[in-house]
A and B are shown apart, each in its own frame.
Chain A
């Protein structure tokens, strides 16, 4: 019988974490452990978590160095067969998710088992790149993928990436030969925020570094990312394609700061 480790990272979000844990406790499949890592919340979050008592198998309240550091700290304590990171405000699609996954997942073969993530805003599945385009970016949602414990505990997240450490981990897992199974089971509902932000620029640079290093020899990683970035900038900043066409990625990133200011 497969045992899951559900890992929830939270800081100062009592409402989000209550919603997350309510969805965990309502799972009809009961062979799981719940690990909660609270980054030393300054509001009532920690008190709320303590009030759940031993229903949280493993509660740690401590300062961390960002979300991926918190995830690393939590995953080291995991003992289940597969881990799922269900962070505060993310919640299971329904009460049968773990039951469905436990029936589908093949513990002999599947290292990563990726289900579907649904946008809380509109209830629609969130779209990712097709599987073959994994050299360009994520092909599934971090919060919808069950990860074999030995793999994540071996590789961990690289905390130098503040935003794209998940892409980095999945890329390293692929390179290490992990099997990835895609499935249409709806796993998680989560809020998605959209729009250009400083995080976007970091993400592009990180992607270039991660994916260029991993697949640069075999695929036109930088060309494609540059092309994607141009389209994104043209769309988000409402700029003619001709204007973005001539720029290198570095130029675009510098220019984007001005464009961003213009938008504001």
Chain B
């Protein structure tokens, strides 16, 4: 097919060629197949192609003309376009720049309206590193594949993220933005150019040096709102369109001398977003300082504070005035947020960026007092928002960003969707907070004032065993991330689940730098899973959480404060117990402030609510011998007895509760009563070997500990044996207890076990005589 194409801009050429339009090029038709073949081979060839075309067009542009698609439409007129380097004419050139979600679209649209009302011949370019959108109205575009700007994408992928001077690929791209014929009439040059970019914050100096009359409106917005807004939509790193932004960003940051170690921890963690935000905010401020007359800082918070004053300054800066601008900007994004994708772990990680923004942007703009007040307000809003997991950078986004919502609607699945579409939790923490907390959620969740004072230079971790708890484990992990004092490390041990746990946990580990997942190749049971998790933790202190329970938001702060860095103590909290009919706080006050041996004696009777998920040092854990990995019933009680025997004292933490203990369905209902009785009896007797501390009345304690299982035969046998041993004078109860710690006893049936302790009790006196 023969024909001619008119090249209105370099980008047209790229779109035309890459879209495989039925066209050819009059000047070099023989090259088309070659170029198409190259395009099919991959986008890394864009640069080569570009170079070829740049040469080609410089020589032959007048000869190019467009072949109309519609035969009935008037044929395109021939153009006589001079080489791009020669069409510079005096004009108003404005770039709106910012990090994504910092208000750039808002400013772009309002400036565009202003310019149109002013009767300008304006060329509009909206997000040209990605889209080929050339209208004043950015909203309403479908943002689908047909609108991708292949040339812009190629430029973004090819040019460094930080660019100060000339660049053979980037320069023609800027020309295309600020130095072309008018879109509406190619015979004239426009008098105004307006472009908005969110991936140009590191390249502003190359814009400013190439066009000495270019003005930049640089949008600034606090990192919390900016990043949260991004997390719900798209990633700063644009993995949807170009997979290498993260690696390029890290490499360029490293080359600029920044420490990028924290960017290696998790693939999509908040640290990436914080680093990106800070690097480009810093670069924007540096550029603004270098070009004070040509860069206008449009600070979102300043605008919220006093809209009119900032708009007046903006009018002065662009040199166009019109009351219309007020109309669209009168309602800046509200003081409430609909949903948050930021956990308190994330907020904590953004601490450096928040502090930077306050001192470097807000204080110069608003003054110290107003700056900190404004930032406090921002942060507070996130303490009560409805949480949703970040879509940005998810596997969905990477595969098919534009169809993302469609995929969700159509029920297609992926690891990310499994995470976000987890079944509605039966347990609603916000409801429980409302019901059981004297403070509202915001006050309850408010980050502790001085973490260092509470932590005493120690670190705190959680271990969460997970076996087929895909439906609840993400909420358990979230409750650890949403602490007023976030945990330093969260180790989830996937005990060979058969459900979606592994996929969901891998997503969580990608999102949060403090979450580590250990996938066991075999099912070992909760005791061994916890033990291995505790060994993998690197923190000084730890607590544990079952994957169907939750932590109260102040759990870590209160228990860390209670333990005060002392590795010989155990800290615990009351328990918020959820039963099908009601939820209520179970007091653990009985254990409050007791010494280890007092706790031991009280624990043996299992009467009042035993503390669970205590905070203790890993050192104490190992000294106590850790979990018994051969037990599957009451292994936590057995463990607590040994910890009590080794600990100095138990401290009850303040706060409404520590664990939200989910007993909506009975836990071990499938296990036979005789096994319950046996486990309780064996642990009770075994505990006689851990410590000389005893309840005052051991038999009464036995009865309480065995509870309603006392009618089982093994329980009555054991009680009889215990009574007989106690009746004898100068008895060493440790010897009696030793029987229950023997390896061969674990697999004995109840009858054999009963005989063993019965025989021992009966023969005790003689045994003593013969030795």
Residues of A within 8 A of B (CB): 14-16, 18-19, 21-22, 25-28, 30, 44, 47-48, 51-55, 89, 95
CB–CB A30/B747 < 8 A: yes
**Chain B interface bracket (under 10, 10 to 19, 20 to 34, 35 or more):** 20 to 34
Residues of chain B contacted by A16 (CB below 8 angstroms): 521-522
Tell whether, in the assembled complex, residue B743 and residue A25 are in contact, meaning their CB atoms are under 8 Å apart.
Answer: yes
Does B29 interact with chain A (Cβ within 8 Å)?
no
Instruction: Find out whether the CB atom of B630 lies under 8 angstroms from the CB atom of A22.
Output: yes
Q: Does A95 contact B630, Cβ atoms closer than 8 Å?
A: no
Cβ-defined partner of A47 (8 Å) among B535, B746, B748:
B535
The interface residues of chain A lying within 8 Å CB-to-CB of B747 are: 25-28, 30, 95
Other contacts beyond A15-B520, A22-B525, A28-B747: 11, CB < 8 A: A14-B532, A14-B535, A15-B521, A18-B629, A22-B524, A25-B743, A27-B747, A28-B749, A30-B743, A30-B744, A30-B747
Contacts of A28 in B (CB 8 A): 747-749
List of B residues within 8 angstroms of A89 by Cβ: 521-522
Identify B629's interface contact among A22, A44, A47, A95, CB under 8 A.
Answer: A22
CB neighbours of B536 from chain A (8 A):
44
Cβ contact within 8 Å between A25 and B532: no
The residue in chain A whose Cβ has the minimal distance to the Cβ of B626 is: A51
> Which residue from B522, B532, B743 sits with its C-beta under 8 Å from A55?
B743
Q: Do the beta carbons of A15 and B626 come within 8 Å of each other?
A: no
Smallest beta-carbon distance B671→chain A, Å: 16
Given A18-B524, A18-B528, A22-B629, do A44 and B535 touch, yes or no (CB 8 Å)?
yes
A30 to chain B: closest residue by CB:
B744
Q: Which residues of A contact B748 (CB under 8 A)?
A: 28, 30
Contact across chains for B625 and A51 when beta carbons are under 8 A apart: yes
Is the CB–CB distance between A25 and B531 below 8 Å? no
The closest CB in chain B to the CB of A20 belongs to B522
CA distance A52 to B625 in the complex (A): 9
Closest to B521 in A: A15
**Given A26-B746, A51-B625, A55-B743: A15 in contact with B535 (beta carbons within 8 A):** no
Q: Label chain A's interface by main secondary structure.
A: helix
Q: Which residues of B contact A53 (CB under 8 A)?
A: 625
The distance from the CB of A213 to the nearest CB of chain B, in whole angstroms, is: 39
> Binary interface profile of B, 522-562, with partner A (CB < 8 Å = 1, else 0)?
10110010011001100000000000000000000000000
Shortest CB-to-CB span from A216 to chain B, Å, is 42
Q: Compute how far the CA of A48 lies from the CA of B525 in the bound complex, rounded to whole angstroms.
A: 15
Give Cα distance in the complex from A19 to B744, angstroms. 18
Of B520, B629, B748, the most chain A CB neighbours within 10 A belong to B629
- Assuming the A-B contacts A25-B743, A55-B743, are A48 and B522 also in contact, with contact meaning beta carbons closer than 8 angstroms in the complex? no
What are 21 A-B residue pairs whose CB atoms fall within 8 Å in the complex?
A: A14-B535, A15-B522, A18-B528, A18-B532, A18-B629, A21-B630, A25-B630, A25-B747, A26-B630, A26-B747, A28-B747, A28-B748, A44-B532, A44-B535, A47-B535, A48-B531, A48-B535, A51-B531, A54-B743, A89-B521, A95-B747
- Chain B residues with CB under 8 A of A51: 531, 625-626, 629
> Chain A: which residue is nearest B495 at the CB level?
A15
CB of B175 to closest CB in A, whole Å: 49
The answer for the CA separation of A54 and B625 in the assembled complex, in Å, is 13
User: Measured between C-beta atoms, what is the minimum distance from B519 to chain A in Å?
Assistant: 9
A47 to B747, CA, bound (A): 24
Interface residues of B in 83-114 (CB under 8 A from A): none
User: Could you say which residues of chain A place their CB within 8 Å of the CB of B749?
Assistant: 28
A89 CA / B521 CA spacing, docked (Å):
9
Residues of B within 8 A of A44 (CB): 532, 535-536
A170 to B625 Cα, complex, angstroms: 41
Min distance, Cβ A215 to any Cβ of chain B, angstroms: 39
Closest residue of B by beta carbon distance from A43? B535
Interface centre among B536, B743, B749 (most CB of A within 10 A): B743
Q: Which residues of B contact A21 (CB under 8 A)?
A: 630
Inside 8 A of B531's CB, which chain A residues have their CB?
A: 48, 51
